[in-house]
A and B are shown apart, each in its own frame.
Chain A
Amino acid sequence: MNRDTNQALPASVKRYLRAVARRLNLPRQMRDRVMSDFTTSLCARAEQGESWEDILASLGTAAEAAAELREPMQEYAYRKSPWRFVCLAAAALCLLRLLSYSLSMLMIWSFTHTSADTSVGIIGGADGPTAIFVSLPEATLILRLLIVLVLLIGCIAGFWCLGHLKQKPRDPEA
């Protein structure tokens, strides 16, 4: 959106426009395109003598205005793949696993947390250590927890990405 146009708007209108933009569910470039035209229209109406209150009242809530703008723009909207639900199911499984590992960690930590459980081993020759191993009772569990955490983040990212796919390029002959 043009910065000068944005500066000319009252704060309530800026908030309204931000709320509309959030609900458009369009790729960023297309969303900016729509919002710049939409804002120009609102400014033109205001310059013709309509009050901002009347203009916003005629548009309805931000959700209603966004729905009206979005509906004919389906060809530009994000494409949602049904495969995203596989990611969602995997994320749910990861979350359960994460909870179970966290619970196990908590139990182990509360029962066996003493410095004596920790051991440090150094393997190497006289010219210096080649490897340092720090072994903790919880180490394997921590590693598993981290793996599951990474998987969970991956699944959530996958779910989001598969719900925000770009439309295939428009066929000019269609």
Chain B
Amino acid sequence: MDDRFLQQLNKGVLEMLVLELVCAKPSYGYELLTSLKEKSGGLFAPKEGTLYPILYRLEDDGLIVSGWQAGEGRAAPKKIYTATEAGQAERLRRQQLWRGFAGTVNAFFEGGIPDEP
């Protein structure tokens, strides 16, 4: 039961966090996975197969773009995702939505509802 609830929460939040990370710094898939895991203290540890559909949805919606970047020294070229202007704007919109959403939910826990969600 708890696992299912956590999965559903993850599903909604992951896309927002991936966009957040890509907006902060152009990244490749593995980098995003490790960042998510480290920054969340292990709470968000999606597998590659879970991350890719999120990246492709964001890319298809025009929020991020992908391109190959030559590696330094002997490193192999990598497929890097970069946020577009629309992605940056969407990131701010989602941040605002999340703050309002989280504020309302927290208010339920604390026994009151804030004036402005």
Q: Which residues of A contact B (CB under 8 A)?
A: 2, 4-5, 8-9, 30, 33-34, 36-38, 40-41, 43-45, 47, 68-73, 75-76, 170, 172
Contact = CB atoms under 8 A, between A and B. Distances in A.
B55 to A, nearest CB: 7
A159 B61 CA distance: 33
B52 interface: yes
A72 B50 contact: yes
Interface string B79-110: 10000000000000000000000000000000
Contacts, number: 72
A57 to B, nearest CB: 16
Contacts of A5: 68, 76-78
A40 B49 contact: no
Interface of B: 28-31, 33, 47-50, 52-53, 55-57, 60-61, 68, 70-71, 74-79
A38 B53 contact: no
For chain A, what secondary structure do more than half of its interface residues adopt (helix, strand, loop), or is it mixed?
Answer: helix
B104 to A, nearest CB: 23
Most buried by B among A36, A70, A170: A36
Nearest to A44: B30
B55 A37 contact: yes
B56 A33 contact: yes
B30 A2 contact: no
A41 B27 CA distance: 11
Most buried by A among B28, B55, B78: B78
Nearest to B47: A68
A33 B49 CA distance: 12
Given A72-B53, A76-B56, A170-B60, A4 B48 contact: no
Given A41-B28, A41-B30, A44-B30, A2 B79 contact: yes
Contacts of A45: 30
Contact of B79 (A37, A47, A76): A37
21 contacts: A2-B77, A5-B76, A5-B77, A5-B78, A9-B76, A30-B56, A37-B28, A37-B55, A41-B29, A41-B30, A43-B75, A43-B78, A44-B28, A45-B30, A47-B75, A47-B76, A68-B48, A69-B52, A70-B49, A72-B49, A76-B53
